[in-house]
Structure formats: C-alpha cells, structure tokens
Amino acid sequence: MRKERLIVPILAVIAVVWMAAQLLSSVLLNAACAKRWKIWKRGVNGVLTELRVGRAG
C-alpha cells in the first residue's frame, strides 16, 4: 500500500480510539462521583432546590 492510502485509515482508527477513551472516562467519572454530585433544579416558583444523585446519607 502506498503511504497516501494509509493516512485515512490511520486517522479513522485514532478517532475511534479517542472517542472510546472519552466515553470510558466519562462513564468511570460518573460512577466515581455520582454520590458527591449535586444537581440544582429550578422549581415552579423559581426557587432553586438541590437534588442529590446517588445514595441518601
């Protein structure tokens, strides 16, 4: 194979590996930090209320 024909497949493999790594790190981060996260939601009356993600306690 010529060098020019190898560029596109190599870039495609790099892109797929990069996306898989991003997805994996996102999933691991969510699992590790789910107990500590706080989500704020604006209620009907406009008041921000805190919702906790994960186990209570």
What number of helices (H) and strands (E) belong to the chain?
A: 1, 2
3 state SS of 42: strand
Q: Which two three-digit tokens encode residue 27?
A: 């999933």
In the three-class reduction of DSSP (H, G, I as helix; E, B as strand; rest coil), residue 2 is classed as coil
- Per-residue pLDDT of 1-57, as tens digits, reads 677 789 999 999 999 999 999 988 887 776 666 555 555 566 666 666 666 555 554
The confidence score (pLDDT) of residue 47 equals: 65
Instruction: Give the max Cα distance, the chain.
Output: 66
Q: How far apart are CA 47 and CA 45, in angstroms?
A: 6
